[in-house]
Amino acid sequence: MEPSSCDTFVALPPATLGNRIIFGKNSDRPSDEVQEVVYFPASQHKPGEKVECTYIEIDQVPETHAVVLSRPSWLWGAEMGANEHGVCIGNEAVWGREEISDDEALLGMDLVRLGLERADTAEKAVHVITELLEKHGQGGNCMESHMAFTYHNSFLIADRKEAWVLETSEKHWAAEKVKEGVRNISNQLSITRVDRGHPEIKDYAKSRGWWDGEKEFDFAATYSYVNTARMTATRGRYCEGYKLLKKHEGRITAETMMGILRDKESGINMEGGFMTTGSMVSILPQDPSLPCVHFFTGTPDPDRSVFKPFIFVPNITQLLKTSSPVFGPEDPVKKKPRFQMKPDRRHELYKKHESAALLMESSKDTDSALLKLIRNLEKEKADEMEHILQSGHLDVDQAVNLFSKCVEEEIREYMPKD
């Protein structure tokens, strides 16, 4: 099994319809890994308080924002998510010339959650992540296994106004501002024009003999592998993803993005030992009076999953049916040596979806019938969200249970019919 993971996309006006920014990500992870969708309300914290991330403890900030996250259920951070201010972040594994440390530090997925909890704009999230990166570093096993799977990280960060691509190599980093059009990232460095960067990014490259200091500085070319099979494979997905965005440019909607994430021919909807285990699409209206809408699957293979809507309002109902069991200090992730066993982390939706997927694979008729039912459910919810965005009217009392209610409706579709 060759680890390879994730594709993240953003489309900004004029590439989209309705003066909206559309964000999307597929999380490609080990096929037996459970991805959960969880919500954490905004919180205030006492001076001197610490926050325990996946492997290390760091200083907490006085206030954290409300977040909704799609994450591998064994860790603290997230593969992707959004906060109450309309900031969305997705991360990617990247490999380059810089060696990757096995030392435990912050995971890229921890940095996703920390960026969402601490920043109310995309630009501020770039600052939060890079400051934490420089202070604590990145590292540690990114897979729930005694086999090491380590990498550096890139991030696509969006809000209602703009997007940023942030790419890292150990503690060095480069950022690119995206003001309009389309942009995507896969498992490779892609920034050529550096809008912001680590102050030593050029000097370090010169000291390693990667850049002569004379030709124009190109971050991706300088810090990337020259040529490897892994880079060739990810470049294919990166190019195919960009083609799909360009194909729909000028008329991209949330449904368009869902279609891109479901595309198997391009490899974006990944199958095999590493597969798409969770997906997310967000609508970020540029009109601040309108709510942002975030859709999550919480289940593997977006082609056989439902994108379910979530809107931030006060007093959100906890997302119990997409939350995995908690094992506390007895969790094998917490004990050293780590990962000596793997507990059953399946949440209720995952179990019902898993049973339904087996039925769909066993019969073409069942596959077709069930797929029709869940796509109708998804369209019904998408239409409801579009009505809210068009009318500007949001029933806050209904939004409290919006995601949880849709999960319950999806589960009912998976139950055996008399």
Instruction: Give tens-digit pLDDT for 300-319.
Output: 999 999 999 999 999 999 99
Which pLDDT tens digit goes with each residue over 9-50? 999 999 999 999 999 999 999 999 999 999 999 999 999 999
What does the pLDDT read at residue 227? 53
As a whole number, mean pLDDT of residues 267-293 equals 97
Which of these, 79, 92, 81, lies nearest to 6 by C-alpha position?
A: 92
Active site (catalytic) residues: 6
Say which range, 100-109, 111-120, 224-233, 375-384, has the weakest mean pLDDT.
Answer: 224-233
Q: What pTM value is reported for the model?
A: 0.96
Residue 228 confidence class, pLDDT cut points 50, 70, 90? very low
As a whole number, mean pLDDT of residues 189-196 equals 95
Residue 226 confidence class, pLDDT cut points 50, 70, 90? low
Compute CA 177 distance to the chain's CA centroid, rounded to the nearest angstrom.
Answer: 19
Mean pLDDT of the residues in the chain:
95
Which pLDDT tens digit goes with each residue over 357-370? 998 999 888 889 99
What does the pLDDT read at residue 1? 40
**Cα separation of 271 and 269, whole Å?**
7
What does the pLDDT read at residue 102? 84
As a whole number, mean pLDDT of residues 131-158 equals 95
* SS3 of the chain: helix, strand, coil, percent, to 5: 30, 25, 45
Which pLDDT tens digit goes with each residue over 320-343? 999 999 999 999 999 999 999 999
Residue 56 confidence class, pLDDT cut points 50, 70, 90? very high
What does the pLDDT read at residue 191? 96
Contact 54, 109 (CB under 8 A): yes
Residue 418 confidence class, pLDDT cut points 50, 70, 90? low
Pairing of strands 274-285, 20-30: antiparallel
Q: Give the burial string for 75-100 (b: 16+ CB within 10 Å, else e).
A: bbbbbbbbbbbbbbbbbbbbbbebeb
Contact 254, 285 (CB under 8 A): no
As a whole number, mean pLDDT of residues 138-146 equals 94
In the chain, the percentage of residues whose pLDDT exceeds 90 is 91
Torsion angle of the four alpha carbons 141, 142, 148, 153, in this order, in degrees rounded to the nearest 10: -100
Q: Where are the alpha helices (DSSP H) in 224-347?
A: 229-247, 254-261
Answer whether residue 164 shows pLDDT above 60: yes
Lookup: tokens for 196: 């912001």
**Packing angle of the helix pair 108-118, 122-136 (nearest 10 deg):** 130
**Cα separation of 89 and 190, whole Å?**
17
